[in-house]
Every structure is written in structure tokens, then in C-alpha cells.
């Protein structure tokens, strides 16, 4: 899609008609890393944006943010009553002897596997018919795959996450440095695995597509997996929204730079998580996301991710890139609370709070329409917003400061925000991502070997509290069941040819 730049006359016209909007005039293809960086308090969200007809439309606020009257007189605030369902849903509850493989293939179900099989076979057929292969090329030995082989293929990918070798071909070597008996028992050669990885697809490339859809390569898989996740589990009262990064340094139109993340370059993923790290929703940033009327882009992300959880009395935890007064009002009107950190340059904030000069341990807050904005000084100033907490303080003694207190807003935020960090940490333990993978396959592997594995493990421990196994043990049991091996050691070893040993120079 060609970029559209505003002329000087058009820009002046927009500025004349500007009515304190929170949107921005900018090319959707332009990746402004500083504007998307959620951990910097110096980045302004006061931008103007020209929206198109595809934007989601919602009703306007009954309370306008600019009309709020801020006061030092605090009224008692209590969060909205939670009325939603919570916990594991569906057929998993009826299985008294659930196993890791049962849970994993409830999320990666027959429909997801059939999608992979159908589109992988279709793509292989398209490659074979393209007349671009050379004589003796590996693709000439292609045979259509099926669901059983696709399960085994996914098992090999998961295995590569717990046993790390420098190259994929090393897993099939007979050299004592790399030899692993499991790779010689699963009846999948290196050539076959490479062919499956080469042709692994989730969409028919021959179908006409919208030129603005940058995620068409992976959207069918993401949509199907997320739908299954939401069928098997429903979050409780508190959920957190934040972003993660999938490492990717190749050329990609929507690649992002985020210096606050471990993986600074890559594909940005928005996640909605529970406090224990369960990923309930998953959205890929592609630079042209629609916005909701009266909300900016970050606020629209929050509502889009949590749309199915609104109107049930939940609490959304967000960081300073998402949190805003308009979002708080929007969510409150949808029977949902908001708690999060704030940037000092967000619109409609009480200036007395933003400009307050505080000493360490002091706090200052104001309230309007059950919205509390609080500033607290610890090692540095922290600005917070909550629709379910006032300006109350709680004892939070430390060894150095036994009299230390913290605002209740801070304590609630820290408790809810940990879900994203736990999810990222657990997903990184046994990552099988490799540099050579194309971007949409990296997204697929991150989704399956990261979020789905962590979610399945959390569900297993909730269904079987007496076992309470660790994540590594869960993956080990899953692989034994996928490969249909008994869980026991083996004495199988490769041959002891002299070719496998370093003999030095004669």
C-alpha cells in the first residue's frame, strides 16, 4: 500500500479542526519505536491520527474526560462485583485421569492439525508445480503428510527446546557429541523433518487476499489456537495486558525496536494474561490496527484483547503506555475496573498531582468520578491510576525501613502485573526458536512451544494438584506420549567407529 503524506495545506486544515484529540497523523507503515515503547515516561501519547472506515465504532462516553472535576475529598471506592465464570471449562473437567498429551491436543486439536496438514500438503504441491526446483532437489522426494506425522513433527520441535544443539542437522548425527537415541527411534529422518519445516504452512497462498492484511500467513493458526485456549479456560477477576517480543532481525514491515525488552528487535505480541501466567489472548502488532472511537491506539488494544471479558466485573492491569483517563471511563462504563501506571504527559490528568513535589515515602492523590490518580515517591516518582482504590496506604516493612508504607494502588498493580512476566519467563525456558526461521514460522513456534505449553502445564497442575509437576517434567511426559515411548532409560549407543573420535596428527 502506497504511503500517503499530508500536504502543507492539508496539515494546516487538520490543525485548525483539531479538538483536543488523542489520535495521531502518521504513516501506519512508519515504526516509531519511541512512541511504542511502554517503559519510557518521556514519550508523548498526545498524537493526532487520521482514522479510516475500518475502525471499530463504539458508543460515546456518558462522562467526558475533560469535564472531570478533581477533588482532594475522597469517597470510599470499591471495585465492581465480579460475576463471571472462572477456571477450567469443557471436557477436560470430565477426565479424571488427564495426561499432558490430552491437554496439549485439546488446544492443538484436530481442526488445528488438519489446517497444518492441508496447507502444508497444498504448499508442497504448489512448489512442485512451480518448475523452480533443480534435478535431485530434496522436494522431488516429497510425500503428503498426515495428522499422525504432524503430531510427531510438533514433538520434534518441542524436543529441540529441551535439548539444544547448534544446528538442526546435529540432532540426527551419529557423532558421540550429538547422538541422541530418540531421534533414531521416531522414524523421521533429517531430510523428512527439513521438508516438513520447509513446507509448513497455515494458509492457501493461491487465494486472493487483502493487501492491507500483513498477517495472512499466520492468522488462521493464531485465530484457531486462541479460540481453543478461550474454550478451555476462563480468567478470574484480575487480568494483565502488556507486550512481549519475539526475536527477529530479518526484514519485516512491522518489525519493532523496544530497548526495554530482553529481545530488543523483533515482532511485538500483545498478551492478555492471568496473574499466574496463563495467556488467554494473543495479538500480533502489525502497524495498521484499528482504533476504537474515543480511545487512542493503546486503549484500543486493551479493549480488543479483553472484549469478551468486559461487563463481568473484572480488573484490568496495564502499564503506562496503555493507561489513560478515557480508557478508565470506557472500562468503567463496561462494568470493568482499571489499575495501572501513568505517563505524566497523558491528557486530562490533574495538574496538581502531576506537578506535586514529594519526598521519599510521600504520596499525593486526587479523585474524580471514582477515578483516583496518585503520585508516590519511592526511589523515583510513580504516577498511578485506579478505579477501584482510593489513596489508602498499607504497611510494607523492609529490613532497612520497618515503618515503610505503600499505596494500595501500587500493591494491587504489582500483584496483577506479574502474570506477563511469569508468562515470558516460562516461555523462554525451553525455547526452540532458531535464527534461520521465516517470521510466521517463528510466531507459530512461539505460540505452540511457548504459550500453549505454558497454558497446558498450568491447566494440568490445576486439574492434578497432588502431582504439581514442574514445566520440564510436563514437557518430558508430553514427548513420551507423543512419541509413544515408555518413560525409561536406554542403553542404546552409536557405533564406536574411529571416525567419531579425535585422533590427533600422526
Higher-pLDDT residue of 25, 384? 384
Which pTM was predicted?
0.81
pLDDT digits (tens, 9 = 90+) for 175-197: 999 999 988 899 899 999 999 99
Q: What backbone torsions phi and psi does residue 271 show, to the nearest 5 degrees?
A: -130, 145
Partnered with residue 71 across adjacent β-strands are 367
Which distant-in-sequence residues (6+ apart) come within 8 Å of 264 by Cβ? 245, 257, 258
Q: Are 246 and 253 a contacting pair, CB within 8 Å?
A: no
Q: What are phi and psi of 51, to 5 degrees?
A: -95, 160
Burial tier of 369 (Cβ tally within 10 Å: 0-12, 13-18, 19+): middle
Q: Are 15 and 8 in contact (CB under 8 A)?
A: no
| Lowest mean pLDDT, pick from 116-125, 261-270, 335-344, 447-456 | 261-270
84-87 long-range CB contacts below 8 Å, 24 or more apart? 84/234, 84/236, 84/237, 84/309, 84/312, 84/313, 84/314, 85/234, 86/234, 86/235, 86/236, 86/237, 87/233, 87/234, 87/236, 87/462
The reported pLDDT for the residue numbered 488 is 54
Position 407 pLDDT exceeds 70: yes
What percentage of the chain carries pLDDT values higher than 90?
55
Least confident of 93-107, 208-222, 346-360, 422-436: 422-436
Give the per-residue pLDDT at 496.
46
Residue 112: is it exposed, middle or buried by C-beta count within 10 angstroms (0-12/13-18/19+)?
Answer: buried
Q: How many residues in total does the chain contain?
A: 506
Identify the pLDDT of residue 17: 40
Q: Quickly list DSSP for 84-114.
A: S--EE-GGGGG-TT--HHHHHHHHS-HHHHH
Q: Which of 7, 45, 83, 1 is nearest to 327 (CA)?
A: 45
Half-sphere exposure of 493 (CA within 13 A, CB side): 7
pLDDT exceeds 90 at position 119? yes
pLDDT score for 61: 46
Mean pLDDT computed over 85-96: 86
Model confidence pLDDT, tens digit, residues 344-394: 999 999 999 999 999 998 999 999 989 999 999 988 999 999 999 988 889
Confidence of residue 202 (pLDDT cuts 50, 70, 90): very high
What torsion do the CA atoms of 23, 24, 29, 34 make, to the nearest 10 degrees? -100
The closest alpha carbon to 117, from 156, 152, 150, belongs to 150
Classify strands 381-386 and 371-377 as parallel, antiparallel or unpaired: antiparallel
End-to-end CA distance of the chain: 65
Mean pLDDT value of segment 107-111: 97
- 54 burial class (0-12, 13-18, 19+ CB within 10 angstroms)? exposed
- pLDDT tens for 275-310 read 999 999 999 998 878 889 889 999 999 999 999 999
Per mean pLDDT, which of 10-19, 39-48, 267-276, 288-297 is the most reliable? 267-276
The confidence score (pLDDT) of residue 487 equals 57
- pLDDT for 45 equals 36
The CA distance from 323 to 302, in Å, is 9
Q: Find all residues with CB under 8 Å of 495, minimum gap 6, and list them.
A: 174
Average model confidence (pLDDT) for the chain?
A: 83
Least trusted range by pLDDT, from 72-76, 136-140, 369-373, 375-379? 136-140
Amino acid at each position: 500500500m502506497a504511503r500517503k503524506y499530508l500536504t502543507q495545506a492539508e496539515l494546516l486544515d487538520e490543525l485548525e479542526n483539531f479538538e483536543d484529540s488523542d489520535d495521531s497523523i502518521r504513516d501506519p507503515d512508519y515504526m516509531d519505536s519511541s512512541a511504542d515503547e511502554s517503559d519510557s515516561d518521556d514519550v508523548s501519547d498526545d498524537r493526532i491520527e487520521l482514522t479510516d472506515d475500518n475502525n471499530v465504532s463504539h458508543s460515546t462516553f456518558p462522562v467526558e474526560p475533560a469535564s472531570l472535576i478533581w477533588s482532594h475529598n475522597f469517597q470510599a471506592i470499591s471495585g465492581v462485583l465480579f460475576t463471571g465464570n472462572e477456571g477450567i471449562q469443557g471436557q477436560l473437567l470430565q477426565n479424571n485421569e488427564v495426561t499432558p498429551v490430552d491437554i496439549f491436543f485439546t488446544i492443538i486439536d484436530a481442526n488445528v492439525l488438519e489446517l497444518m496438514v492441508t496447507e502444508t500438503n497444498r504448499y508442497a504441491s504448489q512448489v512442485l508445480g512451480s518448475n523452480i526446483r533443480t534435478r535431485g532437489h530434496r522436494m522431488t522426494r516429497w510425500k503428503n503428510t498426515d495428522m499422525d506425522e504432524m503430531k510427531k513433527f510438533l514433538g520434534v520441535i518441542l524436543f529441540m527446546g529441551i535439548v539444544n544443539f547448534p544446528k538442526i542437522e546435529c540432532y540426527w548425527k551419529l557423532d558421540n557429541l550429538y547422538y541422541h537415541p530418540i531421534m533414531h527411534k521416531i522414524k523421521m529422518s533429517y531430510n523428512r523433518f527439513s521438508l516438513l519445516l520447509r513446507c509448513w504452512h497455515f494458509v492457501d497462498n493461491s487465494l486472493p487476499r487483502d493487501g492491507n492484511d500483513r498477517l495472512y500467513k499466520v492468522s488462521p493458526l493464531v485465530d484457531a489456537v486462541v479460540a481453543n485456549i478461550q474454550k478451555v479456560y476462563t480468567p478470574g477477576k484480575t487480568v494483565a495486558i502488556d507486550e512481549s517480543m519475539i526475536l527477529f532481525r530479518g526484514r519485516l514491515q512491522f518489525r519493532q525496536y523496544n530497548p526495554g525488552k530482553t529481545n530488543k528487535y523483533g515482532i511485538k505480541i500483545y498478551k492478555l494474561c492471568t496473574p499466574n501466567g496463563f495467556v488467554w489472548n494473543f495479538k500480533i502488532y502489525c502497524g495498521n490496527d484499528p482504533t476504537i472511537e474515543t480511545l487512542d491506539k493503546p486503549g484500543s488494544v486493551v479493549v480488543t484483547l479483553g472484549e469478551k471479558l468486559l461487563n463481568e466485573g473484572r480488573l484490568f492491569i496495564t502499564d503506562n503506555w496503555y493507561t489513560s483517563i478515557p480508557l478508565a471511563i470506557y472500562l468503567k462504563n463496561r462494568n470493568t475496573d482499571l489499575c495501572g501506571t501513568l505517563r505524566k504527559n497523558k491528557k486530562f490528568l490533574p495538574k496538581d498531582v502531576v506537578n506535586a513535589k514529594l519526598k521519599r515515602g510521600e504520596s499525593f492523590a486526587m479523585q474524580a468520578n471514582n477515578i483516583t490518580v496518585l503520585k508516590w515517591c519511592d526511589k523515583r516518582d510513580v504516577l498511578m491510576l485506579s478505579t477501584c482504590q482510593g489513596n489508602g496506604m498499607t504497611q510494607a516493612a523492609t529490613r532497612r525501613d520497618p515503618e515503610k508504607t505503600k499505596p494500595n494502588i501500587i500493591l494491587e498493580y504489582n500483584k496483577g502485573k506479574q502474570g506477563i512476566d511469569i508468562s515470558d519467563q516460562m516461555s523462554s525456558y525451553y525455547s526452540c526458536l532458531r535464527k534461520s526461521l521465516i517470521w510466521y514460522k517463528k510466531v507459530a513456534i512461539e505460540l505452540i512451544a511457548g504459550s500453549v505449553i505454558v497454558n497446558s502445564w498450568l491447566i494440568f497442575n490445576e486439574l492434578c494438584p497432588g502431582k504439581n509437576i514442574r514445566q520440564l517434567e510436563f514437557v518430558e511426559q508430553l514427548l513420551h506420549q507423543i512419541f509413544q515411548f515408555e518413560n525409561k532409560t536406554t542403553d542404546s549407543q552409536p557405533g564406536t567407529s574411529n571416525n567419531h573420535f579425535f585422533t590427533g596428527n600422526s
